[in-house]
A and B are shown apart, each in its own frame.
Chain A
Amino acid sequence: MGNTAATTLNKKSWTSYIGEYAAFIALVLLVVVISIISPEFRTAGNFLNLLRQATFNGLIAFGMTCVILSDGIDLSVGSTLALSAVICAELIMKGCPAILAMLVALVAGTLLGAVSGLLVTKGRLQPFIATLVTMTAYRGLAMIITDGKPISRLADNIASSGNEFAFKLVGKGNFCGIPIPAILLIFALVVFFFVLNKTTFGRKVYATGSNAKCAKLVGVNITKTKIIVYAISGFMSALTGLILISRLDSAQPTLGDGYELDAIAAVALGGTSMSGGRGKITGTIAGVLIIAVLNNGMNLLEVSTYYQDVIKAVVILVAVLSDRKR
């Protein structure tokens, strides 16, 4: 085909650079505009607050990015969050040391994610269906364990002070004035960036999503890669669950409802292709921050919640459309 070599010459034009950093440019514009309108927004305290709010969606969206890059999707993140949080809370109420209970919850989350991965690979279910199944099942299990009721006053039930400190630290702690959840978010960002860009596993994730047939023929274990990716997503959901129950000091089976949608929105805003193979974790963090800034800013500006959703939808639509033009 004669024309294909031709199109490459304009490959690195300025428009493609804008495309590459569209999410960041949008983020900066948003911050500037809201800062001008709302003096409250531009305080240091609010920025820390905003960062903490971004943590929940951010951690989940990182896992979601990996899943989507591998040409999958994980609808079960919210339910996985709830189920592992409830497991942790139940263990604490039964007298299990909090640190151990939290570790068990993280392992549980990882395994719950791996189950989705198994359904996708060994069960040959489409990711959407597979995680729709686990999403429904996990939510149900969380309800069964708690009998549908919240488990409250967790910290009071922790016997040793060391364990109590650890439990509170995760959600409420500070280090040099920075909330621990925000530190976790930044740490996770660094780890995900490294894994996706600098390790062989990262390459396999991209290759799987880009062209699984081709990747398989050069020896990439597609099944293993996909299972790990869903397990990572499960782990991140569980971690988010722990931060949430630490902050709330209670665990409800309805936790994390609808979180999958915010996470997917953040990934899409960040320019990751929904059919896998293309995307960046830095895009995702920009997407997460855009959503957080919008939420925070609109609350400060006292925009009615009904309008908030519509405005969010418009922002997502515009961002994704402008990304497609590249």
Chain B
Amino acid sequence: MNIEMKGINKAFGSNQVLKNAGFVLKDGEVHALMGENGAGKSTLMKILTGVYTRDAGTVLVDGKEVVYKTPQEAEKAGIVFIYQELNVLFDLTVEENLFMGKEITKKFGICDRKAMRRKAQEVMDKMGVNIPINAVMSDLSVGQQQMVEICKALMVDAKVLIMDEPTAALTQSETEGLFKLIKSLREKGVSIVYISHRMEEIFELCDRITVLRDGTYVGTEYIKDINMDDIVRMMIGREIGERFPKREGVKIGKEMLRVEGLTKEKTFENVSFSVKAGEVLGVSGLMGAGRTEIMQAIFGNLPFESGKVFIEGNEVKIRNARDAIKAGIGFITEDRKTEGLLLEKSISDNISLANLGKISSKSVISGSKEKELANKGITEFRIKCFGPDHECGNLSGGNQQKVVFAKWVYTDPKILILDEPTRGVDIGAKKEIYSVINDLAAKGVAVIMVSSELPEVLGMSDRIMVVREGHITGIIDAAEADQEKVMTLATGGTL
């Protein structure tokens, strides 16, 4: 199926989100759609699939002008959008999710479970995913839920698949499975629009790339003709310089945190490591290796059976987040939306909540101090917003993450744990977050950074700790580390 979108305009109220945006999708290609957060990628795709209506412009499908009024209409035409946010019913089974709204029925509308089970298994096998079809969704990992979402799209005979950050929550092997599938779909003539921030994936998978910037079409190129720097330049309209800014004038000081023999049955075992002041310890490993759980345990949010935690040489008992904060630990969780922010509250409210002691005396909040702190956060972290009252749910991913950083940094932590600090954040904001991490290290904060993006771990860390199936399989100096060594340790090999 050929799709051509030309001169698309779209405004929400007074905000022009798309002006003269567009792209051309050819039969049987994997087409990357890139741009910073807020560049209009998702909006453009939502216009194609009938989620939004366009203010101006034309959409030609196989040469004929079309307007899909609802996503269902687009789906009937063979255009399926797999959203970034999971769209699953958590209390139902895999099979029920796959057939939601399009159940195979016998006479009198009775569900033909046998036929559905057969077809579901067929699709799952074709994809090479191994998820029991009678499993309840909420029992699956986020990665598995995502795979079910993708399978759901394949239940319909899709001619065009739009994937928005499909690998954000997938493990390495699931990602490989997905890529294999995308490639085989391409051979069958299915066109794929692939939205992702991960450069490595774009180069591995895509044939062509279209870049949007500030809602406007910038250009389309064949992947084989360009390199990463070209793409970044197209995306931000200027040179970005070093991807990972250099950390300067950092002295690595005394030991701030030491963990000895931390163990939780079936989750992690005998975990021991330490971090020093001014040091960034990268934590690598596959999804589900237990990295997040280890950090949650240290922060007191996940009880563990045995092991000791020392801060500045003294053993501490941390039973909950309050104890951890008192002990000087900050924790930026991997899930910004459900754990990191009060989305319906303002920037000011969010920063204040972690710093109530600072802005109040005798439990009474000082309005001026609160405003001062929020404004300080907005300036220091360069949060793009209308002011302290801007609702966090309306900020872009990068700016949301900056709010999370601001609220934790002002608690003056001695140790800051970052879990996937740049997930879902665009390149420009990523670099700003890296600078923040460097500044914190320069101030003598001990930083632990859990990340699934290998280049980030390699580029930002002083040392890298690799976790596999709840065990530490190695701690290597960044100077000696490379992608291969880390992957070897993460997948169970030895150096």
Contact = CB atoms under 8 A, between A and B. Distances in A.
A202 B321 CA distance: 20
Interface string A1-44: 11111111111010000000000000000000000000000000
A214 B394 contact: no
B15 interface: yes
B13 interface: yes
B365 A278 contact: no
A210 B89 CA distance: 22
15 contacts: A1-B397, A2-B43, A3-B12, A200-B356, A203-B349, A204-B353, A207-B345, A211-B341, A211-B342, A211-B343, A213-B339, A215-B342, A217-B331, A218-B321, A218-B354
**Interface residues of chain B: helix, strand, loop or mixed (majority):** mixed
A130 B366 CA distance: 36
Contact of B396 (A4, A9, A219): A4
B344 interface: yes
Interface in A164-212: 198-204, 206-207, 210-211
Contact of B13 (A10, A198, A216): A10
Contacts of A5: 15, 38, 384, 394-396
Given A211-B342, A218-B407, A198 B386 contact: no
**Interface residues of chain A: helix, strand, loop or mixed (majority):** helix
Q: Give the one of A5, A11, A207 with max B CB within 10 A.
A: A5
Contacts of B331: 217
B325 A219 contact: yes
Contacts of B357: 200
B46 A200 contact: no
Contact of B42 (A1, A13, A199): A1
A7 B352 CA distance: 24
Contacts of B37: 1-2
Contact of B321 (A11, A204, A217, A277): A217
A46 interface: no
A75 B397 CA distance: 39
Contacts of A211: 338-339, 341-343
A215 B52 CA distance: 34
B341 to A, nearest CB: 6
Interface in B212-258: 215
Contact of B12 (A9, A203, A206, A218): A9
B450 to A, nearest CB: 15
A9 B46 CA distance: 20
B358 to A, nearest CB: 11
Given A6-B13, A9-B13, A214 B339 contact: yes
B23 to A, nearest CB: 14
A214 B84 contact: no
B14 A10 contact: yes
A126 interface: no
Given A200-B363, A217-B301, A4 B15 contact: no
Interface string B337-371: 01111111100010011101100100111010000
Nearest to B324: A219
Nearest to B45: A2
Nearest to A207: B353
A129 interface: no
B338 A9 contact: no
B85 to A, nearest CB: 8
B275 to A, nearest CB: 20
Contacts, number: 131
Interface residues of B, number: 56
A322 interface: no
Nearest to B16: A6
Interface of A: 1-11, 13, 198-204, 206-207, 210-211, 213-221, 277-278
Contact of B41 (A2, A9, A207, A213): A2
Interface string B287-316: 000000000000101000000000000000
A219 B13 contact: no
Contacts of A204: 353, 356
A7 B13 contact: yes
Given A6-B12, A7-B13, A210-B344, 11 more contacts: A1-B397, A2-B44, A5-B38, A6-B11, A8-B394, A9-B15, A198-B364, A200-B360, A202-B365, A206-B349, A207-B353
B39 interface: yes
A206 B365 CA distance: 14
A207 B344 CA distance: 10
Contact of B15 (A6, A203, A207, A217): A6
Contact of B363 (A199, A213, A218): A199
B321 A4 contact: no
A198 B366 CA distance: 8
A214 B335 CA distance: 10
Contacts of B299: 217
B170 interface: no
A213 B397 CA distance: 19
Q: Give the one of B44, B340, B397 with max A CB within 10 A.
A: B340
Nearest to B343: A211
A243 to B, nearest CB: 29
Contact of A4 (B41, B324, B394): B394
